Amino acid sequence: MAEKVITRFAPSPTGYLHVGGARTALFAWLWAKKDGGEFRLRIEDTDRKRLVEDAEDQIKESLEWLGLDWHDTVLRQSERIDEYRKQAKRLVEAGFARESAEKEGTVIRFKWPEPLRPVAIEPFQGRQKIMVDPQTVASAFEEFVLIKSDGYPTYNFAHIIDDLETGVTDVIRGDEFTSSLHKYYAIYQALGRADALPRFYHVPPILGSDKAKLSKRHGAQDVLDYRAEGYLPEALANFIALIGWNPGDDREFFASLDELREAFDLSKVQRSPGVFDPEKLAWLNGEHIKALAPGDLLERAATGGFWEPGRDRAYDERVLGLATDRVRTLAELRDIRTGYFYEAPKVAVDRLVGKENPETVGVWLERVLRDLTKLPEAEWKSDRIERTLNDVRDELDLEPKQLFPVLRIVVTDADRTPPLWDVFEVLGKSETVSRLEAAQDLVA
């Protein structure tokens, strides 16, 4: 029977979850879930001086929003202090650590004992193995701290105890941790658990477009900021998965975490840093919005505060059906909604008439009203409306760029909309005629 893969995501609540951490969590989740393994969540909150009060809640809410569920309860290091101290004492008794009285107080430091053996660790599939020789590195490193003077463990010690206890088989984390592998292996050997050393996978960093370390100036934000701006969780997951990884073909759109899981393979993570491209994120989000059924889109937009339901659900869904090709975030739906739900033109006369004069526009509106009013309700369909509007335009000897922008402003107060006749059909004959008549009064 194949070994069950157990991964973990272990953020420190000294700040909110950003794109880089979210990608690490996503990779760990995908790798575990691919073959029915377990993904665990651990909060490494032993750096008490730098804790951010609501960071843990933000981290968990971000993971939940992205759909990254975890196995069992959350393990919180601050609740396991006695266990770390017990294990450190064991190392002291075995001669692998020592208590040291220092200026800040008593600490426990790891020693570099002779019995430790060299080992080759492969930190990433397909990469050159790293030879970890504790005897060689001992001369270059001071004995490092396991338990600090405040009684709390250091990261280098606590995470190993946790990984052993929870049976972690695969550790996925950033490249910056590669240089500490020799410390981890030495502790595993000292604990008598070298056999339980996990497989280590180190992923390259995410850079901005200028190849500098990713920051807010590149467009990176807290994960929940993307939710507030109208991004879909499946779109953000799709986007961050592709930063430094590809499925081995040209595919870029993954409709769900299930599709990502099926395609994901850690061996296809690139060695070089990935680049954060906000334009690509916006494009992908637009593609995910297009893929939603109108009812699903309505639910998400309303829940997120981007859409206030109007006259009836069917009407809302028809409006959203027209909008999906025009927006890249849910937030953009707010402007579209305004145009479909106001009861009379709110636009100033000079914006309505543009380069024309009010009298001329009044004539145009009169002719449009005359012919649209003649259309029976049963024929109020986009193709019939399109023919009618083009007949009026031909009669007035106008170019599309003259008449249609005026009508667009009249019915939606927007410069860009779906095809005008589609908008008229969704609005319905009565509402369309009412808006045209109101606009006619403005230019009279």
Crossing angle of helices 358-374 and 429-443, rounded to 10°: 160
Decide: 16 and 55 in contact? Cβ < 8 Å: yes
H or E element that contains 278 = helix 278-291
Residues in the chain: 444
Q: What angle do CA 371, 322, 422 make, to 5 degrees?
A: 15
Nearest residue to 56 (alpha-carbon basis) of 66, 45, 67, 48: 45
CA angle, residues 347, 343, 383, in degrees to nearest 5: 90
| Residue 308 CB-density burial (10 A; 0-12 exposed, 13-18 middle, 19+ buried) | exposed
Q: What is the DSSP letter of 73?
A: S
Tokens of 414: 């927007």
**Candidate list 216, 290, 346, 381, residue with the active-site label:** 216
The rounded distance, in Å, linking the Cα atoms of 372 and 390 is 11
Residue among 274, 205, 210 at smallest CA distance from 242: 274
Q: Return all residues near 270 (Cβ < 8 A) that are at least 6 apart.
A: 204, 244, 245, 246
Q: Residue 147 pairs with which residues in a beta bridge?
A: 108, 153
Taking Cα atoms as reference points, which of 147, 9, 139 lies closest to residue 70?
Answer: 9
Q: How far, in Å, CA of 298 to CA of 316, rounded?
A: 7
Say if CB 282 and CB 305 are below 8 A apart: no
Structure tokens at 214: 């990713």
Is residue 268 flagged as an active site residue?
no
Residues with a catalytic annotation lie at 216
